[in-house]
Amino acid sequence: MIIERLIEFIKFPTSVEEFLLMIGNAYLKIASTVNNLITANYKVYDDMQVSVNNIAKGVKAPTDRLYTYEVGDITFATLGFAKNDYVHFDIQTSHSMEINSTLEVHIHFTLPSVAADAGKKIVWRLDVIYATVDGTWTLVTGSPFTSPTYVVVTGDNTIARMLSIATLPAVNTTVSTIYKCILTRVDGVATEYPPEAYLVYIDCHYLKDTNGSATGNAK
């Protein structure tokens, strides 16, 4: 009977009904609203990905490399960052992202040479501007951001490391907020890791509070 009423509700929602679905110790509230959005009583994190194969290289660009990741003989494309190398990339917020919430930008990387470099360090910088839908381009407060210093350890040539670069403030007052970014490997420490760092991926963690937006331009 509950399943039958749920199916009927999904097909023919009213303005007053709601269903509670138990999922472990939490529950999902499916509520009919004027826009028939699905909302939850809790918020969850998700990823927005930026493939390093879809970014624009700067004047001081990283080098195209092929690397086995120490797995067999097959090589895979990656970008080798020496000091001061940088790339451009863009982020567009998902329609499921909570309005006025922060965005955590982090990178995944691997180091091709670590035999004699354990204890040496790597630092990254992120420059960011943004614009909401029909908004003015604006410098993100805190930009440029400097990452925590990463200290190289033995075995980093076989590990997919993740490093948080910046937490962007809650400036997404609309869906589809655009962030234009520049990621640079900077010389910020005395015991710099001298070889290239291989950038694998850039992505962002964000809070989602709906399954999408009510219209093409608004929650």
Distance in angstroms (rounded) separating the CA atoms of residues 46 and 97? 9
Tokens of 107: 């990178």
Q: What are residue 156's phi and psi, to 5 degrees?
A: -65, -15
Q: Give pLDDT, residue 212.
A: 79
Distance in angstroms (rounded) separating the CA atoms of residues 30 and 89? 36
Q: pLDDT (tens digit, 9 = 90+) per residue, 51-77?
A: 665 577 767 899 999 999 999 999 999
Q: Give pLDDT, residue 44.
A: 58
Which parts of the chain have pLDDT scores under 50?
Answer: 1-27, 32-34
Distance in angstroms (rounded) separating the CA atoms of residues 177 and 92? 6
If phi over 0 gives left and psi between -120 and 50 gives alpha, with beta otherwise, what is residue 167? beta
Domain ranges of the chain: 1-36, 43-210
DSSP per residue, 85-142 = -EEEEEEE--TTBPTT--EEEEEEEE-S--TTTTT-EEEEEEEEEEE-TTPPPEEPTT
Distance in angstroms (rounded) separating the CA atoms of residues 181 and 194? 25
Closest by CA to 190, choosing from 123, 127, 125, 116, is 123
Q: Give pLDDT, residue 114.
A: 83
Distance in angstroms (rounded) separating the CA atoms of residues 28 and 71? 42
- Rounded CA Rg of the chain: 22
Nearest 10 degrees: CA dihedral of 154, 160, 163, 167? -170
Q: Give pLDDT, residue 174.
A: 92
Q: Give pLDDT, residue 215.
A: 74
Distance in angstroms (rounded) separating the CA atoms of residues 167 and 105? 6
Q: Give pLDDT, residue 22.
A: 47
Q: Give pLDDT, residue 178.
A: 92
Helix (H) or strand (E) holding 9: helix 2-11
Q: Give pLDDT, residue 156.
A: 93
Q: Give pLDDT, residue 115.
A: 80
Q: Give pLDDT, residue 13.
A: 46
Closest by CA to 219, choosing from 88, 38, 49, 90, is 38
- What CATH class is the domain 43-210? mainly beta
